[in-house]
Amino acid sequence: MKSTQLFNYYKKLIHKNIKNDYLSANLEKPVVEEYKLFALDTITSQHLQKDNYIVSTMVVQMALNTHDQIFKTFPKSDNQIMKKQQLTVLAGDFYSGIYYHLLAKAKDISFVRILAKGINELTQQKAYVYYRDFEHSETFLAEYEKIETALLNKVAAYFKMEQGIDYLDKWIMYKKLKLEWSKFQNSETTFFHQLLLQNVIRDNSMISLEDVLLTMLNQTKKSIKNYHGELPPQFDVLKQDFQQEMRKNNFLHINSVLEEGLSK
């Protein structure tokens, strides 16, 4: 299955499971993080029940991401925003119930435990990172990576892939940063950008944000390139994906140099 087909297949399955008419009518469709889908597909590739593992893990991730959209205080003056916020709380709770229901139906209680432990770690890490000032972006990056990878790490360990976890973490973080970088270039402001501005940069400067994002992206890229440890054979697809991206970047870079040359 090609990755686009794969994403569409799982996105459809996930949205079918979390469907609720009232939430759909009032909230934006929750985002399915494709790179995590890809990673989960890699981790679970040899298991018959992989659909259930992938969907339940992604639904938990979406539940927790949804709760990140809650403002620290509600704007009481605007009833519509208030209603949206209230429904956002409930949407996250609803998705949490769905993940549990999916696994309970499949009688997979041990995987419920794995994800519950993942939520636990992730939530504690969020409380730590969201409410702390960071002197250096490197420290922030290292701590944020734990939030981004907590659930998938648990799943990888469950499927005995501890050996590749370090690589997996960097790969996930690279994908996340790439996404955040492209959103920044499209002038979109995300929760991650705000977190960086508040907890790391602290002067609300977009130039600094650009610098920090690029630095973190290059740092992560370097960590992946310098990774020399053994990897489970399943992780070859992650390596190939990364190499392909590097080739694509080089190609784009050469093209832009050529174009610049032409314009001169």
Partner 1 sequence: MKLAKTYSFIKKDLNQIETVLEDSIYTDHDVLRDASLQLLKAGGKRLRPVFVLLAAMFGDYNIHHVKKVASALELIHMASLVHDDVIDDSNIRRGKPTVKANWDNQIAMLTGDFIFAKALDQFTEIEEPRAHQILAKTMIELTLGEIEQIKDKYNLNQNLRTYLRRIRRKTALLISSSCQLGAIAAGTSRETEKSLFKYGYNMGMSYQIIDDILDFTGTEKELGKPAGGDLLQGNITLPVLYAMKNPSVKNELIEMFKYPETVDKEMLEPVIDKILNTDAVEEARILSDRYLQKAYESLHNLPDIKAKKSLEDIANYIGNRKI
Q: Is residue 100 involved in binding partner 1 (CB under 8 A)?
A: yes
Rounded distance, CA 215 to CA 213, Å? 6
Residue 84: CB minimum distance to partner 1, A: 10
Report the nearest approach of partner 1 to the CB of residue 118 (Å). Answer: 8
238, with CB counted inside 10 A (0-12, 13-18, 19+), is buried
130 touches partner 1 (CB under 8 A)? yes
Which residue, 93 or 259, is less far from partner 1 as judged by CB? 93
Is residue 89 a contact point for partner 1 (CB under 8 A)? yes
Among 92, 155, 165, 169, binds partner 1 (CB under 8 A): 92
Determine the distance from the C-alpha atom of residue 191 to the mean position of all C-alpha atoms in its chain, rounded to a whole number: 12
**Distance from the first to the final alpha carbon of the chain:** 44
DSSP 27: S
Q: What is the DSSP string of 137-189?
A: HHHHHHHHHHHHHHHHHHHHHHTT-GGGHHHHHHHHHHHHHHHHHHHHHTT--
Q: Which is nearer to partner 1, 125 or 223 (CB)?
A: 125
> Residue 161's CB: how many other CB atoms inside 10 A?
20
96 binds partner 1 (CB under 8 A): yes
Task: Please choose, out of 51-59, 76-84, 229-237, 247-255, the segment that lies near partner 1 by the rule CB under 8 A.
Answer: 76-84
- The site for partner 1 (CB under 8 A) is made up of 20, 22-23, 63-64, 67, 70-74, 76-77, 79, 82-83, 86-87, 89-90, 92-94, 96-98, 100-101, 103-105, 107, 109-110, 112-113, 116-117, 119-120, 123-124, 126-128, 130-131
